[in-house]
Amino acid sequence: MESPNRSSRGLWTRVRNGSLTTTFTVLATLSIGVLAGSMLTGKVSAKQVNSSDAQPLSIPNPVTLSNGFSAIVKQVGPAVVNINVETLPKQPTSARNHRAMPQDPNGDDDQGQGQGQGDQGMQDFFNRFFGGQGGPGGQGGQEAGPRRALGSGFIVDPRGYIITNNHVVDGADHIYVKLSSDPDDPSSQGRPATLIGTDKDTDIAVIKIDSKEPLPTVKMGNSDSIQVGDWVLAIGTPFGERNTVSAGIISAKDRTIDEGGDANGVAVNEFQKFIQTDAAINPGNSGGPLVNMAAQVIGMNTAIFTQSAGSEGIGFAMPSNTIINVYNQLIGPEHKVVRGSIGVQFQAAESSAVGRVYGFANGGVIVSEVVPNGPAAKAGVQPKDIIVSVDGNPIKNGDQLIQIVSAKRPGSTVKLGIIRGGQHLTLDVGVTDRTKLYANMNGGSDQSNSSNPSDVGQNMLGITVQPTSQATASHIHINGGVTVTSVKPGSFADNIGLGQGAVITEINRRPITDEASYRSVVTSLKPGDDVVFVVRDPRNPNGGDSYVGGTLPQ
């Protein structure tokens, strides 16, 4: 029997040898067959027959299926909001804190190797589209025009308090909110919102809108109760499409996105332990709720792993228990989160061999560095000490140590059980404000919650100030005062004509003699307050006082 390859070669041999007549006859016959089949098929048509016996179709009555998803969406959906932010052009000061994405979804999340820095393309995608403030022009030079970004949030108080991600509103000059019940009008930005407080350590922010009527709210759940494999729904505004729902399961718990450490080696995200889910999360979902089958919010959608600018089934949500703790502090009088610290640093994760060799195979944390002049240093804690308990409670790892100590109030004391050189010791160690402790390490620069005195009015007023020099004060015949060093374009100060270089001597009839008095007055201001500045112009030393004022936007 001749093989197919030999037959093919024979056909091509006959063609090449000039036996074209037979070949073309065969091809023509095949073509006629194909055409005939097409023509015959094309002639098929409906016959004129009597169809009086055919029964017409009817639309059946609606049937309520046993689908718990739709019932959950009806409960939660009205409290999920769309957030629009606008950032006005300004001269860059320092690079903002970009959210990093994990490079390898299968990698160990706790190695602490700084892999989360990611390539710039992924960071740009996240910051432009997932709610952040990055994008063209964001890192250098004067920007051409206002930048806008989208995100999601959910109402937790009928008076209009909303939880979202900090990176959604970070650096925004204007924040607007659209409720699910608001008309889908592209020309309307939505209701103006006020920033109540933010916590960069957990990427959580609280904003508020005014409403004459009580607003719908979500029910918060306990994230400790979730199990891997539980069904969840993600609700938000992906790609600007409002009121979008996706379903999936809990894929993992206690995930981290490693972003490395700051200049002092302090982890920038040590308070971030995420719920991982395969529910589709896309750009714009950021800040929206992750809901369980009891219609309770058990997480806030915060980040995604992506190589395609879309969902790849790996999303991360901040657990609700963390959200609740942070929210309760942000709505407090100081509108900031205070965490305790004893002033020690340690490696995020070690090989099990380290524990066996150094004598803490059953749990503990080996101290890599002690913050100079911090509580631990004053109590006598040393590098290579192994912390095995706090107040008599065993410590398994660094995450547990952070969780216990950060919950302590500054000014309190804890009993540390340590192993040093094989001997067990107990030390009484004070707890201090973590923010202030590491601000001192940074040379007095507070990178997390509180502002420098000169920047206290930047968010509300749009200005930064510095103490007026003695020479300038003498030149314009005043004692003290603060000088405006910068004015944010489009801000309250810019709109009322308060310019750079002006010397402020009074605010609302209260004397401004230095930064402390300036800070005291500005921190007492609220949206809707009338604000009047008494200023002097150093270019006109004999011009006397000028009065510049306006009403802070709601």
Contact call for residues 191 and 177 (beta carbons, < 8 A):
yes
Q: How far apart are CA 88 and CA 85, in angstroms?
A: 10
The Cβ of residue 31 has, within 10 Å, a number of other Cβ atoms equal to 10
Active site annotation includes 181: no
Contact call for residues 84 and 209 (beta carbons, < 8 A):
no
Q: What angle do CA 329, 335, 336 make, to 5 degrees?
A: 65
Contact call for residues 280 and 311 (beta carbons, < 8 A):
yes
The Cβ of residue 546 has, within 10 Å, a number of other Cβ atoms equal to 14
* Amino acid type, 165: N
Active site annotation includes 224: no
* Catalytic residue from among 199, 201, 203, 385: 203
Contact call for residues 463 and 476 (beta carbons, < 8 A):
no
* Catalytic residue from among 167, 170, 180, 251: 167
Q: Name the residue among 498, 503, 506 with its Cα closest to residue 534.
A: 506
Distances (CA, A) of 500 to 459, 503, 538: 16, 9, 11
Q: Can you spell out the DSSP letters for 131-200?
A: S-S-STTSSSS--SS-EEEEEEEEEEETTTEEEEEHHHHTT-SEEEEE-TTS---TT---EE-EEEEEET
Active site annotation includes 167: yes
Q: Can you spell out the DSSP letters for 60-87?
A: PPP---S-HHHHHHHHHGGGEEEEEEEE
The Cβ of residue 505 has, within 10 Å, a number of other Cβ atoms equal to 21
Residue 520, H or E segment: helix 515-522
Q: How far apart are CA 281 and CA 301, in angstroms?
A: 7
Q: How far apart are CA 209 and CA 439, in angstroms?
A: 33
Q: How far apart are CA 234 and CA 65, in angstroms?
A: 21
Q: Report the phi/psi class of residue 251: left, alpha or beta, with left for phi > 0 and alpha for psi in -120 to 50.
A: alpha
DSSP state of 404: H
* Catalytic residue from among 286, 311, 389, 454: 286
> Which residues lie across from 324 on neighbouring strands?
none
Pairing of strands 413-420, 530-536: unpaired
3-state secondary structure of 283: coil
321 phi/psi in degrees, rounded to 5 = -65, -40
DSSP state of 264: T
* Beta carbons within 8 Å of 357's beta carbon, 6+ residues apart: none
Contact call for residues 232 and 246 (beta carbons, < 8 A):
no
* Amino acid type, 17: N
522 phi/psi in degrees, rounded to 5 = -65, -40
- Name the burial class of residue 172, with classes exposed (0-12), middle (13-18) and buried (19+) by CB atoms within 10 angstroms of its CB: buried
Query: What amino acid positions are annotated as catalytic residues?
Result: 167, 203, 286
